[in-house]
Amino acid sequence: MRERIGWIGLGRLGAPMAANLLESGYEVVVYNRSREKAEPLVQNGAQIAESPAGTVEKGGIVVSVLWDSDATESIVTPEFLKRMEGGIHICMCTGSPEAARRLTKLHAEHGSAYIEAPVFGRAEAAAARQLAIPYAGSQAAKERVKPVLTALGGQTLFDTGEAMGIPTVIKQFGNFLIISAGRSLEEGLAVVEKEGADPFAAMEFLTQTLFPAPIYRNYGRMLAEKKGSLRSSPIPAKDLGLFNERAQEHDLPNPITRMLLQLSSQ
């Protein structure tokens, strides 16, 4: 049996990631606002905590996979921090660099470490352990959590150093590119189909030649099969808004971000 992991958040990504830890032999104690989402994990050996702080074991590791920085900061209560002494909190939300720095300082003041580790990947990628994770924190903490990040589904881990906020900026930049690609694919495939061309053939040609990246292959296939659209998700507007804030803070022109943000709000 490996070490005990506290887990907070069982959404589309959190649930399969926590399941991966159980399958890898970790003891997992979970908390989720909707208790029923934890039941499948309990059937596979997880324990349920009655509060976020209840997932914490002194000196242990806690993983939070929540919507944003506000949700994450709301669980970091005095009780949570007291229990975290000597432990490590791995935060996997897409939030703000400022919040990552605040939380790092707050944890350090209470004798614990904070790892910033936002996630690239959809739910199916999480289940297949094919996530990409940029992460930052103290060297000692990173060395301890690296096996955990791998076990929860991190196929590609990218250590950005000890400066906090960098993984979050990379995640926001990546999501900006994903949303740009997704919107372009959706618009282009609509034209291709109206002209009578086979959208699958068009995507096969383009992803085998000019655009072999996974984002074009995966989203292109999904859109050609009409199995989804970025327009149905609240994530684009949220993440573009965060990226837009970064640009505005530095007085940078960002016409593409603003255009995509406007489209995402329609």
How many CB atoms are closer than 10 A to CB 173?
Answer: 12
Number of domain units in the chain: 2
Catalytic residue among 171, 194, 226, 238: 171
Given this model, what pLDDT does residue 139 score? 98
User: CATH no. for residue 120?
Assistant: 3.40.50.720
Q: Which uninterrupted H or E stretch holds 220?
A: helix 214-224
Contact predicate 74/47, CB 8 Å: no
129/222 same-domain check: no
Digit-by-digit pLDDT tens for the chain (266 residues) are 578 999 999 999 999 999 999 999 999 999 999 999 999 999 999 999 999 999 999 999 999 999 999 999 999 999 999 999 999 999 999 999 999 999 999 999 999 999 999 999 999 999 999 999 999 999 999 999 999 999 999 999 999 999 999 999 999 999 999 999 999 999 999 999 999 999 999 999 999 999 999 999 998 999 999 877 766 677 778 889 999 999 999 999 999 999 999 888 77
Print the domain residue range for 224: 168-264
Select from 132, 162, 192 the last residue of a domain: 162
Give the residue among 77, 264, 116, 123 at the shortest CA–CA distance from 180: 264
Torsion (CA) 69, 72, 74, 79 in degrees, nearest 10: -140
pTM for this predicted structure: 0.94
Give the residue from 144, 162, 180 where a domain finishes: 162
Assess whether 142 carries a catalytic annotation: no
Question: At which of 133, 162, 191 does a domain end?
Answer: 162
Task: Provide φ and ψ at 174, rounded to 5°.
Answer: -60, -40
Identify the sign of the CA torsion 103, 67, 229, 18: positive
**Same structural domain for residues 84 and 196?**
no
Tokens representing residue 78 in the block? 């005095």
| Residues 155 and 55 reside in one and the same domain | yes
pLDDT for the residue numbered 230: 67
Whether residue 49 is found in the same domain as residue 128 = yes
